[in-house]
Amino acid sequence: MKILGCVLVIAISMVIGRLLAESYVDRVKNLSNFITALEMLKSKILFQQEIFEDIFDDISQVCNKVLKGFFTEITEELRNSNIPVSEIWCRKVEEHFPYFDFTYEDEKILLDFGALLGKDDLEGQVRLINSTIERLKGQLMAADAEKNKYAKLYRTIGGIGGTALAVILI
């Protein structure tokens, strides 16, 4: 019975370590996907001059599951209301923030972007998007460094901590 308990303690500790590590991996993926989405937004605004509802609908089709819901909800709300895109964007960023695994600095970048979205001419929108992409790329580099540093650490601590706890329990 003790052996079964020890195995369970080790397994649970390893799972917890992996879950903690996964948030670092997910942040990198989501930042990368946001950068791709903004690049797509820029090209569609610049070259195809589509409306936001169509652009966000197209973006939602190529995003991962987390961002798909974000862009789908923005598209639906744009189609069903007269609320400005900037207001919808900011509200949806705040609603979806817990699912992005972002830091508050990442959220601030997206909120700053959203506050000005749709409020300028074509050149202004492209400058805004380029600026936001560059800021997110900086965050992506930092997130990747954190992932490399902490993800492996949490996995290792989960395994070692679980083993140590199992030994103590014996």
pLDDT by residue (tens digit) across 86-125? 899 999 999 998 888 888 999 999 999 999 888 878 788 8
How high is the pLDDT of residue 36?
92
How high is the pLDDT of residue 108?
94
Please state the domain extents for the chain. 2-169
Packing angle, helices 104-116 and 85-100, rounded to 10: 170
Taken in order 156, 160, 165, 170, the sign of the CA dihedral is positive
How high is the pLDDT of residue 170?
73
How high is the pLDDT of residue 46?
83
Global pTM value: 0.81
Query: How far apart (Å, rounded) are the C-alpha atoms in residues 141 and 59?
Result: 23
Query: How far apart (Å, rounded) are the C-alpha atoms in residues 87 and 101?
Result: 22
Rounded to 5°, angle at Cα 128 from 122 and 131: 140
Q: Closest Cα to residue 106, out of 29, 46, 44?
A: 29
DSSP-derived 3-state class of residue 60? helix
Q: Closest Cα to residue 117, out of 89, 83, 146?
A: 89
Query: How far apart (Å, rounded) are the C-alpha atoms in residues 86 and 162?
Result: 47
Token pair for residue 154? 């949490």
Whether residue 46 contacts residue 126, with contact meaning beta carbons closer than 8 Å, is answered with yes
Token pair for residue 48? 């195809």
How high is the pLDDT of residue 23?
82
**Low-confidence residues in the chain, pLDDT < 50:** none
DSSP-derived 3-state class of residue 118? coil
Burial of residue 158, with CB atoms counted within 10 A of its CB: 0-12 exposed, 13-18 middle, 19 or more buried? buried
